[in-house]
Amino acid sequence: MEKHRGFASRLAGTDFQFTVRRANKKGASPIIRRERYADRRPPDRRADEAFLYNLIEYFGEEPFQRGNLDSGRISWLFGREIEAAEEDFNPVSYESLLKVNLAKAQASFPQIFASGWSA
């Protein structure tokens, strides 16, 4: 499992994690598309924003390996702002490639791209 050194491990002051410490012996947790409803709690939305902001700062539009990134946090953005970067995408592999769709990210989270945004 690739560890993304320097990537934020969680949202400061909360228990929302962005990375995992070690690989699961049973295999990686699956990445699924989770529905985001309009009535989501503000802390959940802030965690999505901060995670996406960190992905953009760390990887930009380049494909990246899932590695130690938290599957639960990826799942809230998967199929929209985060997409599979390979045709034979395996949702339960630490080696799977993903990428950020900046156009969709900007449409969903315009505050990330506005000057002065902070997590």
The string of pLDDT tens digits covering residues 83-92 is 999 999 999 9
Assigned domain for 62 exists: yes
- Per-residue burial over 49-60, b = 16 or more CB atoms within 10 Å of its CB, e = otherwise: bbbbbbbbeebe
Assigned domain for 20 exists: no
DSSP 64: E
Assigned domain for 52 exists: yes
**pLDDT at position 116, please?**
53
**pLDDT at position 111, please?**
86
CA 93/CA 48 separation, integer angstroms: 22
Please, are residues 83 and 98 in contact by the beta-carbon 8 Å criterion? yes
**pLDDT at position 117, please?**
55
Assigned domain for 90 exists: yes
> Mean pLDDT, the chain, as a whole number?
84
pLDDT-based confidence at residue 20 (cuts at 50, 70, 90): confident
Q: What is the mean pLDDT of residues 34-62?
A: 88
User: 13 φ, ψ to 5°?
Assistant: 80, 10
Assigned domain for 1 exists: no
CA distances from 109 to 60, 62, 87 (A): 15, 19, 26
Count the domains in the chain. 1
DSSP 86: S
**pLDDT at position 64, please?**
92
Assigned domain for 4 exists: no
pLDDT higher at 62 or 39: 62
Question: Domain range spanning residue 90?
Answer: 42-113
E strands within 1-119? 64-65, 82-84, 97-100
